[in-house]
Chains A and B, each alone.
Chain A
Amino acid sequence: MTDVLMLVIVAAFFALAGALVVACDRILGHDDTPGEAGGVLDAPATGDAGDASRDVRGVDR
């Protein structure tokens, strides 16, 4: 019984962390400044894990 309680505590915490993910995504979603973050969620992914350097290093600074 105590084991179940322990696992419930952990599960409840990770549910909270999951809720924070949703909350943070909503915070980001509210940024609809033109030219900033808004409206690009449907943009195609740039690069992949194998060629991530193209993105990372390709920034013209």
Chain B
Amino acid sequence: MTAPAWAQFALLAGLVLLLAPLMGRYMAAVFGGGRAPGDRVFSPVERLVYRWAKIDPDREQRWTRYAASLLVFSFASIVVLYAIQRFQGILPLNPDHLASLDPFMSLNNAASFTTNTDWQSYIPESTVSIFTQTVGIVFQNFMSAAVGLAVAIAMMRGLTRRRAATIGNFWVDITRAVTRILLPLSFVLAIFFLSQGVIQNGHGQQSITPVDRSLVATTVDGKPADKPTVAGGLVASQEAIKQLGSNGGGYFNANSAHPFESPTGLANFVQMLAAAIIAFGLPFTFGRLIGSRRQGYVLFGVMLVLWAVPMIGTTYFETHGNPGLTAAGADQQPSATQGGGNLEGKEVRSGAAGAAMHGSNSTSTSTGSVAASHDSFTPLGGGIVMTNILTGEYGPGGVGSGLYGLVVMALVAVFIAGLMVGRTPEYLGKKIRAPDVKLATIYVLIVPFVVLTFAGITVLLATATSAVGNPGPHGFSEMLYTYASAGNNNGSAFPGITVTSHWYQITLTVAILMGRFLLIVPALAIAGGSARKQPAPESAGTFPTDGVLFGVLLIAVVVIVVALTYLPALALGPIVEHLSL
């Protein structure tokens, strides 16, 4: 890694260390139930929402009702977003008169944005209107992040309550998540993005005259072609929640590589920070709400390691360039005329380091935004971002999903530790019993089942394999990455693959839905079961979970589970591709 790359990484990590505790403290106040900053402003708004939606904020829910509320809300969200896309042609704010989307793509998009995946199998600027973007997609950007946050908070309540039947109120939790966290932060961030040059207007496609006339294309007859066009839109406001909510869906096809989404190196840097800050703040919220900050520090430390190591690795491989090009004599060293490294598929304003860090950050945070083509990363650089996704995205993971996923893995770690050393499996004073382990097992197995099953079947289908952009191991990587991204609700892609066929649209929709809701249900069940338990006093047989040893064990469990599950598949893709260079 170059010195500027190390400096950028150190600054990013330093800001995470500085801001995450503050974020966690604020979220603890918001969800702790007592007085919180901004009550005088937000409480009246929330009361209006409760009155309009007929929500009784004082009525708590059992985990089953909490889960049912979440599923009903999400089902309704998918239906509404589907309808918006299907009626796009007759809805307002459509300056380019774009047609309605076809049913398969509408379904895929509706599932994708409702689940915080934001997988996009279409070119946004030429496919969806401003109305669809703003009313349909941005609304889900807020709500899907709020749902993840709500589940994480419910998990915290479940782990700390004793002999309680309830874990909170889903409707109250998502309301407070939006009004007190996502909306205010998005507003501030959108203003910052505007200052960097991110656009915010109601224009459709506009013809432009390039300063460089050589950019005006010519027809086959040698005559000047139509003037190039550029798309407008409400980009800055969408960009803010795209990152803060770990959504990742771009206003433009090039996502954060597009100059209207991320015009400067500073904008790229702040996007990375924004994508990580809520997820990194949640362990501190966890520590405060359970009354043991050391427990939160351990989870934060684990997240930090799982975030930093792959980021350094990806940046290392991308800044060192492509070994194949080096062997061919290409100059990939930093100089006065180039930033150096593997610049294929990257924007020079962010360089190999900035693009690699963005890629690693967005796959560690389940965001899925891209500042470069991940398909053009070196085999091992691309393999690392894919492994970030396959790891389950706990470092720090998506908004809420990273925290509750890591807590489930903590239960697995405690159980394994108990088996190894004969200690009683306990976590936060609650005994880990067979039902907890069964639920955690369901949680851990769902995504590998989805990813490997669909990727395996797809490899056998000639029509599906013809959609990949490259032969051999790289083509396999494209397919594996696609289902890993969908099943883990990441949303980024190895864009060499074309996924507009009905096979991909339907199977990706199913993978996306399973990867979200079939994980949330057992997570909430664990919370509900834990809330009912009576904490047991610590004894000599209690394995401490608030120290470095447990942190190391937790990292080992995450890595081993991923290695056992996915190493054969990774060997067929990025690993063999690297060895063949």
Interface set of A (CB-CB < 8 Å, partner B): 2-3, 5-7, 9-11, 13-14, 16-18, 20-21, 24-25, 27-28, 30-31, 33, 35-37, 40-57, 59, 61
Contacts and interface: CB of A to CB of B under 8 A. Distances in A.
Nearest to A20: B521
Interface of B (DSSP majority class): helix
Closest 10 CB pairs of A and B: A53-B33, A24-B525, A52-B33, A53-B32, A49-B169, A46-B164, A37-B532, A2-B103, A31-B435, A45-B166
Interface string B149-173: 0000000110011111110110011
A52 B64 contact: no
Given A21-B68, A52-B157, A9 B59 contact: no
Given A10-B79, A31-B435, A53-B32, 6 more contacts: A28-B525, A30-B434, A37-B533, A46-B164, A48-B169, A55-B162
B157 A56 contact: yes
Nearest to B430: A36
Contact of B165 (A25, A33, A40, A49): A40
Interface of B: 31-34, 57-60, 62-64, 67-68, 71, 74-75, 78-79, 82, 86, 103-104, 106-107, 110-111, 156-157, 160-166, 168-169, 172-173, 289-292, 428-429, 431, 433-435, 438-439, 442, 506, 509-510, 513-514, 517-518, 521-522, 525, 528-529, 532-535
A4 to B, nearest CB: 9
A50 B169 CA distance: 10
A49 B439 contact: no
A26 B34 CA distance: 34
A1 to B, nearest CB: 9
Contact of B518 (A6, A17, A28): A17
A13 B513 contact: yes
Contacts of A9: 107, 506, 509-510
A38 to B, nearest CB: 8
Nearest to A7: B79
Contacts of B68: 18, 21
B169 A18 contact: no
A20 B289 CA distance: 29
Given A6-B106, A49-B60, A61-B292, A13 B165 contact: no
A60 to B, nearest CB: 8
Contacts of B86: 3
B71 A43 contact: no
A48 B289 contact: no
Nearest to A28: B529
A50 B57 contact: yes
8 contacts: A9-B510, A20-B518, A27-B438, A28-B532, A47-B161, A49-B169, A50-B33, A52-B168
Nearest to A39: B532
A5 to B, nearest CB: 8
Contacts of B163: 40, 43, 46
Contacts of A24: 439, 442, 521-522, 525
A20 B445 CA distance: 14
A21 B59 contact: no
A21 B79 CA distance: 21
Contacts of A46: 161, 163-166
B32 A45 contact: no
A48 B56 CA distance: 10
